[in-house]
């Protein structure tokens, strides 16, 4: 069994999964009310310039102002755009001013409390090419190794380029004829002309161009994957995809299939349960070990435990085998959960330097299939592995889950004993500050039971101390940390 793509489409939500050899590898979710913004082009207005941060906040019509750094603004000297590594970084105040209208493109979706990340370096991708209106040079994907093919594609890209911009040749273009690339170039050129026309007529903040919907975008981005079958459970979507693949990715037209089975399409590979398991902290390994994955605002940490795995030889060999198995599981979980940013991996301590080298090599090989860019920095002096993974959209947990209203994201709650002792201290505090005839405590069932049973003697002693009656009442709607001390 090879690679399959399953698409579950409803009016409110589209879900696309990539399955390799029957195992879920990637999950992509787009909700109608929260469509991804990456690739969208906007007419924005500079709402605030921050010289100390070398950045500006841009109003593009969203709830949160978007962020534009000076390094993401295309600079020109004598009318010629400079490549990013050649550009000086002038002060942000010399690049933009408050109230200025500016055309920008989203490169990162809003994440948590952060607004979208923007660039003025506009790019328009298609099947084989990426059109860069403000670039002065052509480029060829580094994944194309053949020198003759690289030169052919570079010369063709030069020929196709116009005064409006130049092209970057994508990996999928390797081996394709000139006609296919010319068709792509014509499409992108026409698209850019339409965007320029809208720019002239639209002077208010708003969208100029929206990227493809999730289903079309995934097929465009999965180019190069050996996809054997694409199954879709929506008749409207399958017709749309047939049109899209016929125009841009004809080789995928033959693997499109309308799913009409009685079972939900995600039941075919137990996808729903796999998604639920991808939200758990603990990931079991076949050997009996486990991964503990914690996602925070600053970074993601992954801890490896041997668990019940005791091995058959010696401790060092047991640890090495567990770490090797963990590298495969880590690579899958990063893709499946779409974890990005800084990632710290705490492998089980190894004394053998050769074992460390082989574990790093295994991790690099496992991550080779990941389409997101990754960088591994090796073991630190504390024995941790530092790595990064490019993050352009929210993780699976952030898409499907929200903050717990009880713990407010801490991941833990105060114990019953802690809350009880807080209540007792609050009674003393209120008694010293105010005059009251008696006190009534409203608390959750667990806290009330603990006060009236295990801590009944303490409550009685407190009544004697404050010379007031204390009554405890259960409030069923309160969570474990909530309570009120009421004076009567």
| Within-domain flag for 409 | no
Residues 52 and 186 in one domain: yes
Most confident of 79-93, 164-178, 249-263, 441-455: 441-455
> Where residue 314 sits, what CATH number does that domain have?
3.40.630
> Where residue 103 sits, what CATH number does that domain have?
2.40.50.140
Rounded Cα distance between 459 and 451, Å, is 7
Residues 184 and 312 in one domain: no
Question: What local confidence, expressed as pLDDT, does residue 373 receive?
Answer: 81
| Cβ 431 vs Cβ 441: under 8 Å | no
Question: What local confidence, expressed as pLDDT, does residue 310 receive?
Answer: 56
Residues 52 and 180 in one domain: yes
> Where residue 467 sits, what CATH number does that domain have?
3.40.1260.20
Lowest mean pLDDT among 62-71, 82-91, 111-120: 82-91
Q: What is the mean pLDDT of the chain?
A: 88
Give the pLDDT band of residue 309 (cuts 50, 70, 90): low
Residues 373 and 439 in one domain: no
| Within-domain flag for 335 | yes
| Within-domain flag for 430 | yes
Residues 62 and 153 in one domain: yes
Give the strand pairing for 101-108 and 41-50: antiparallel
| Within-domain flag for 181 | yes
Residues 179 and 46 in one domain: yes
Residues 115 and 53 in one domain: yes
| Within-domain flag for 406 | no
Residues 55 and 173 in one domain: yes
Q: What is the DSSP letter of 114?
A: B
Question: What local confidence, expressed as pLDDT, does residue 1 receive?
Answer: 57
Residues 202 and 225 in one domain: no
| Cβ 405 vs Cβ 411: under 8 Å | no
Give the strand pairing for 385-389 and 438-443: unpaired
Is the pLDDT at 423 greater than 90, yes or no?
A: yes
Domains held by the chain: number: 4
Question: What local confidence, expressed as pLDDT, does residue 88 receive?
Answer: 58
Residues 367 and 446 in one domain: no
Question: What local confidence, expressed as pLDDT, does residue 2 receive?
Answer: 81
pLDDT digits (tens, 9 = 90+) for 357-374: 999 999 999 998 887 888
Rounded Cα distance between 170 and 274, Å, is 33
Domain boundary among 190, 209, 228: 209
Spell out the residues 6+ positions from residue 118 whose beta carbon is closer than 8 angstroms to its own: 44, 58, 60, 66, 67, 68, 72, 104, 105, 106, 107
Give the pLDDT band of residue 174 (cuts 50, 70, 90): confident
Is the pLDDT at 186 greater than 90, yes or no?
A: no
Residues 204 and 218 in one domain: no
| Within-domain flag for 86 | yes
| Residue among 392, 376, 448, 440 nearest 416 (CA) | 448
Give the pLDDT band of residue 194 (cuts 50, 70, 90): confident
Is the pLDDT at 311 greater than 70, yes or no?
A: no
Residues 395 and 338 in one domain: yes
Rounded Cα distance between 297 and 293, Å, is 13
Question: What local confidence, expressed as pLDDT, does residue 75 receive?
Answer: 53
Range of the domain at 391: 281-400
| Within-domain flag for 408 | no
> Where residue 228 sits, what CATH number does that domain have?
3.30.420.60
Percentage of residues of the chain with pLDDT beyond 90: 56
Does 172 or 316 have the greater pLDDT score? 316
Rounded Cα distance between 288 and 281, Å, is 16
Is the pLDDT at 78 greater than 60, yes or no?
A: no
| Within-domain flag for 191 | yes
Question: What local confidence, expressed as pLDDT, does residue 80 receive?
Answer: 41
Give the pLDDT band of residue 77 (cuts 50, 70, 90): very low
Domain boundary among 248, 272, 296: 272
Domain boundary among 375, 400, 425: 400
């Amino acid at each position: 069994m090879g690679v399959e793509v399953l698409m579950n489409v409803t009016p409110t939500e589209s879900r696309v999964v990539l399955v390799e050899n029957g195992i879920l590898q990637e999950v992509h979710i787009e909700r109608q009310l929260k469509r991804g913004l990456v690739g969208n082009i906007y007419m924005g207005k500079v709402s605030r310039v921050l010289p100390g941060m070398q950045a500006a906040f841009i109003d593009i019509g969203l709830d949160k102002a978007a962020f534009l750094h000076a390094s993401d603004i295309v600079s020109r000297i004598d009318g010629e755009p400079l490549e990013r590594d050649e550009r000086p970084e002038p002060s942000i105040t010399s690049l933009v001013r408050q109230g200025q209208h500016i055309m920008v493109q989203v490169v990162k979706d809003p994440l948590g409390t952060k607004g979208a990340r923007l660039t003025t370096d506009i790019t328009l991708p298609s099947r084989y090419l990426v059109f860069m209106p403000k670039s002065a040079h052509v480029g060829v994907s580094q994944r194309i190794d053949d020198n003759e093919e690289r030169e052919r594609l570079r010369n063709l890209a030069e020929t196709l380029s116009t005064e409006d911009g130049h092209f970057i040749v994508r990996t999928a273009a390797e081996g394709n004829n000139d006609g296919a690339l010319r068709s792509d170039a014509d499409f992108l050129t026409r698209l850019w002309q339409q965007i320029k026309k809208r720019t002239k007529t639209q002077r208010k903040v708003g969208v100029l161009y929206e990227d493809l919907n999730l289903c079309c975008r995934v097929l465009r981005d999965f180019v190069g994957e050996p996809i054997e079958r694409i199954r879709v459970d929506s008749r409207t979507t399958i017709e749309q995809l047939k049109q899209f693949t016929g125009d841009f990715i004809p080789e995928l037209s033959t693997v499109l299939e309308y799913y009409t089975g009685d079972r939900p399409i995600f039941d075919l590979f137990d996808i729903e349960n796999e998604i639920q398991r991808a939200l758990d902290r603990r990931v079991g390994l076949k050997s009996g070990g486990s991964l503990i994955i914690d996602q925070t605002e600053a970074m993601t940490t992954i801890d490896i435990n041997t668990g019940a795995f005791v091995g058959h030889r010696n401790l060092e060999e047991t640890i090495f085998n567990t770490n090797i198995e963990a590298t495969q599981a880590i690579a899958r979980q990063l893709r499946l959960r779409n974890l990005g940013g800084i990632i710290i991996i705490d492998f089980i301590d190894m004394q053998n330097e050769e074992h460390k080298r082989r574990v790093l090599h295994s991790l690099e090989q496992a991550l080779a299939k990941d389409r997101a860019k990754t960088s591994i920095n090796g073991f630190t002096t504390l024995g941790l592995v530092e790595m990064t993974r490019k993050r352009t959209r929210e993780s699976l947990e952030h898409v499907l889950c929200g903050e717990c209203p009880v713990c407010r994201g801490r991941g833990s709650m105060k114990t019953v004993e802690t809350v009880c002792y807080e209540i007792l201290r609050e009674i003393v505090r209120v008694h010293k500050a105010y005059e009251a005839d008696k006190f009534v405590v409203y608390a959750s069932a667990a806290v009330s039971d603990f006060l009236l049973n295990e801590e009944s003697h303490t409550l009685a002693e407190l009544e004697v101390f404050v010379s007031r009656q204390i009554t405890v009442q259960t409030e069923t709607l309160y969570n474990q940390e909530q309570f009120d001390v009421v004076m009567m």
